[in-house]
Structure formats: structure tokens, C-alpha cells
Amino acid sequence: MKLRLGTRGSRLALVQSSWVADALRRLGAEVELVPIKTSGDRLAGVALADFGGKALFVKEIEEALLDGRVDVGVHSLKDMPAVLPPGLVIATYPAREDPRDALLTPSGGEIEDLPRGARVGTSSLRRRVLLLGRRPDLVIEPIRGNVETRLAKLESGQYDALVMAQAGLNRLGLAPPHARPLPTEDFLPAVGQGILAAEVRQADREMLELLSRLDDTRTRMEALAERSFLAALGAGCHTPVAGHCRLQDGTLKMSGLVASLDGATMLRASVSGPVESAEALGRELAEELLARGAGPLLRAADEPRG
């Protein structure tokens, strides 16, 4: 079987997509990587929340899928909206990488060890409010660019610290000397963090069958719970939302967070349940947070800002 695999052109995206391509080749497929420049890549100098959020990293790949230019799209799951375009489905979730965020500093230490007023680079609303919740004195500054560019900015002294996904560092084979993984219990990850998703046309039964052979059951259950949580919240790209599910001893345990943009209000909740109820568990967690007042936070975040 010959297939065209659509991917972003960044080094990290190509590494991730090459892993999927190599796995498919081992199954006998002939795979061509098709780099696609997304809106998120073209808007490298702006705040993504002002232009549609991380979904801009998948839009053009999904368009290429729908019009038949590619057969598979590989994404970081955390970049994908909770609702897919009609006619597309996620065919497989390979085994999850480390879901944690990592704190990177020139000299090591924890968040509490940063000097007062330290400049921390991140363009994530979620990371921003979690940092300010721990250290209101920190100065959170936006940062864009690929992983290597961000590390260079830290090394040159433009920032005192960075917060990045540990999964990206691992996949690139990077081990900065003072990277500290942040425990998920304290620093809740983004929905889908550390998970790859292979998206295909729903009618393409042959592709669905092939890709199903790369599926990791544990990762699928965690992904379904987390995406169900995001969909039930109806959260937009302007809202600081976090959600992380883990399968432990046969039970799914999930935690979620919704915060105000300034981090002054931070609502947390946790639920647990059997593996077969993954999507119901995500909805239950969303309903718990909505009952605690998440609705007004979600609506306020999506109001136009002048």
C-alpha cells in the first residue's frame, strides 16, 4: 500500500511523523512524508490565542486530508480541537510519551527557587496561570519558535526560565542539564499532552484498518477521557484549561482545571472510574467543574477583548 502522510515541517513534527511512517513501513506500507505549512507556522510572531489558538497547527493538514492530497495526518493531540471536521476521525493513538511539563533554567532548581520577578517564557495560557498561581511575582513573557530556538533564547539570557513539554524534549533526544519535570499533580498538563494522533478520512476503511495496528489501548482510553472532558466543557482557545487522565491498576483517574485569565480563580476537580467508561468519565469531570462555576470563566474568556 502506498500512502501520503501529512505533517507540519518543524523538526519535532517531522521526528514524530517519521516515527509513525517507520512503524507503517514495518507493516509493509510505502510511505511518503508531505510537509505542510500551517497557519500556526506562518503566524510565528503572534499570540495564537488571538488568531484561533493551537487548532491553527492542524487546519491545513485537515484540508489536505479532505481534498485527497494526503491519506493520513499526524498531529500532536494537544493541538487538536475537541470536535473534528465532518468526515475525519482519529484512527490511532500510539503509546503516550511523558505528559509532564518541564521547567528549564540556567542553573537548576524548582519554581520556588526562581528569583523574584524572574522572566519565564511560555505562550500557553494554562502554563501562565499555573505559574502565577504558585508565584504571582513572576513575569510571564510570550515565546514562540521551535524547541531549539527557545533553548537558545534561554541560554542567551533573554529569559530566566522556560516551561516546555517534556515529550518534545524526549522525542528530539534533548536533555538540557537543568530541565526539571513538573509533577502532574501540581502542574496539570494540557489535554492530550504527550500523545500523537493519526487522522484519516472516515470512509477510508483500508487506512483505518492499517493504522489500528499502531494503536495503544492505554493511550486511547486516556485520550478519549481527556477529549471528552474538553468537548463537554466547550472550552475555546482563550481559556486556561488543563486535563490529565492516567490508567492505574485498571482504573482511570482524571483531574481537570479551569481558571480565569488572570489566574485569580482556579477550579480543580478529580474523578475516577473503570476503563470502559472513559468518555463518560471525561463528561463527569466537566460537569463537576461546571457545577463549581467554570461556566462563567469559560464565557468570560471567550468575550472579545479590545
CATH number of the domain at 145, please.
Answer: 3.40.190.10
The CA distance from 250 to 247, in Å, is 6
* 202 and 65 co-located in one domain: yes
pLDDT at 38: 77
Q: Is residue 167 part of a domain?
A: yes
CB proximity list for 215: less than 8 A, separation 6 or greater? 92, 93, 94
**Least trusted range by pLDDT, from 4-18, 28-42, 222-236:** 28-42
Question: 134: how many CB neighbours lie within 10 A of its CB?
Answer: 16
pLDDT at 48: 45
Q: In total, how many domains does the chain have? A: 3
* 230 and 301 co-located in one domain: yes
Residue 49 has which C-alpha cell? 490565542
Question: How wide is the angle at C-alpha 222 spanned by C-alphas 213 and 226, nearest 5°?
Answer: 125
Q: Is residue 49 part of a domain?
A: yes
- Residue 16 domain boundaries: 1-94+195-215
* 124 and 258 co-located in one domain: no
The CA distance from 196 to 17, in Å, is 9
pLDDT at 49: 47
* 132 and 9 co-located in one domain: no
User: Half-sphere exposure (CA, 13 Å, Cβ side) for 277?
Assistant: 14
pLDDT band at 272 (very low <50, low <70, confident <90, very high): very high
**Least trusted range by pLDDT, from 36-50, 192-206, 230-244, 276-290:** 36-50
pLDDT at 140: 97
- The average confidence (pLDDT) of the chain is 92
State yes or no: is 302 an active-site residue: no
Counting Cβ atoms within 10 Å, is residue 83 exposed (0-12), middle (13-18) or buried (19+)?
exposed
* 125 and 73 co-located in one domain: no
Q: Is residue 187 part of a domain?
A: no
Give the active site residue among 22, 50, 71, 79: 79
Residue 53 confidence (pLDDT) above 90: no
List the end-to-end C-alpha distance of the chain, in Å, as a whole number: 52
Residue 78 has which C-alpha cell? 494537544
Q: Which of 41, 45, 82 is nearest to 61 (CA)?
A: 41
* 65 and 205 co-located in one domain: yes
Q: Is residue 246 part of a domain?
A: yes
Q: Is residue 188 part of a domain?
A: no
Instruction: Give the domain CATH number at 279.
Output: 3.30.160.40
Q: Is residue 299 part of a domain?
A: yes
Residue 99 confidence (pLDDT) above 60: yes
pLDDT at 197: 98
pLDDT band at 41 (very low <50, low <70, confident <90, very high): low
